[in-house]
Structure 1
């Protein structure tokens, strides 16, 4: 997966240290409540489309862009579904990040799956009861997007004294 230029530049200053970033996830639901997933080329795992918010870009625009880049499909954002700070993660090269993930429920508009780029090995629709093995955080995002609610999910911190 290509690293955005602004992160490469930041890494020149912070090295492998913890870098807080904003990630955007698109949970794309089909007509039969199927979920759109793509297979990552870096580890072969299936996941929802998503990526890093570029400087100056709006999160919903990022969601639509990432779906297009990773699947070749055009989607429309329906609503914000969750905002969650993930646990810090260390990449194999030693870079440490902590993502603030902003997830959106999206609906398919048009297009055919395209895996000709370098961000995806495969694109498929999966029934909710037949999802491949995925990390809990991705399964949670899918569950929150499928809920019939208007407000997004977020963790509530304990009240300060």
Structure 2
């Protein structure tokens, strides 16, 4: 058994282990995403290194991790910002992501409204994030998948952003 918190039990290590067993067979993964707004009610997105398109900061849960813990950790990794959860918004269970390497995953994503409590955008993990930018919900760039579009649309309606 690998100790929790080691590289093998990180989300990347866990997914790599599963992929080693099942290859490119579609799998189900849990993830957390966060909506962070600036003073203009624009949403923060990160340009991803793996797919070359934009997504909400967030990511896959590590083994034994909660959605709430995952979004706080992932926000720091993806954006450089420390955040606190304002409130959960919705659970999205109809998402699929196809990666350039041929992997496919159905993603079950918990969406949170978050607010920044510290850190800086310049402290993002550049192995995952090319660039960070706030976008108006009415003029979004090409997104990672339909689930990201659905999450932003849900947040826009729930938070009356548009």
TM-score by shorter chain over 0.5: yes
Pairwise CA distance, 1:116? 5.3
1:19 to 22, 27, 32: 27
Partner of residue 134, structure 2: 125
- 2-structure distance, mates of 1:6, 1:137: 22
Tell me the number of residue pairs that the alignment of Structure 1 and Structure 2 aligns: 148
What secondary structure sits across from 1:130 in the alignment?
A: coil
- Could you say what the CA RMSD is over the residues aligned between the two structures, in angstroms? 2.2
- Given that 1:18 and 1:98 are in contact with CA atoms closer than 8 Å, whether structure 2 keeps it comes out as yes
Q: Return the index of the structure with the highest Cα Rg.
A: 1
Q: Is 1:139 paired with 2:149?
A: yes
What secondary structure sits across from 1:16 in the alignment?
A: coil
Q: Quickly say closer, same or farther: Cα 1:108–1:31, change in 2 above 3 A.
A: farther
Pairwise CA distance, 1:148? 4.3
Q: Quickly say closer, same or farther: Cα 1:3–1:29, change in 2 above 3 A.
A: same
Q: Quickly say closer, same or farther: Cα 1:87–1:106, change in 2 above 3 A.
A: closer
- Given that 1:25 and 1:102 are in contact with CA atoms closer than 8 Å, whether structure 2 keeps it comes out as yes
- Given that 1:26 and 1:49 are in contact with CA atoms closer than 8 Å, whether structure 2 keeps it comes out as yes
1:99 to 87, 91, 107: 107
Pairwise CA distance, 1:37? 1.0
TM-score normalised by length of structure 2: 0.79
Q: Quickly say closer, same or farther: Cα 1:47–1:111, change in 2 above 3 A.
A: same
Q: Mark the runs of 5 or more structure 2 residues left unpaired by the alignment.
A: 1-9
- 2-structure distance, mates of 1:92, 1:14: 17
TM-score normalised by length of structure 1: 0.80
2:42 to 29, 34, 58: 34
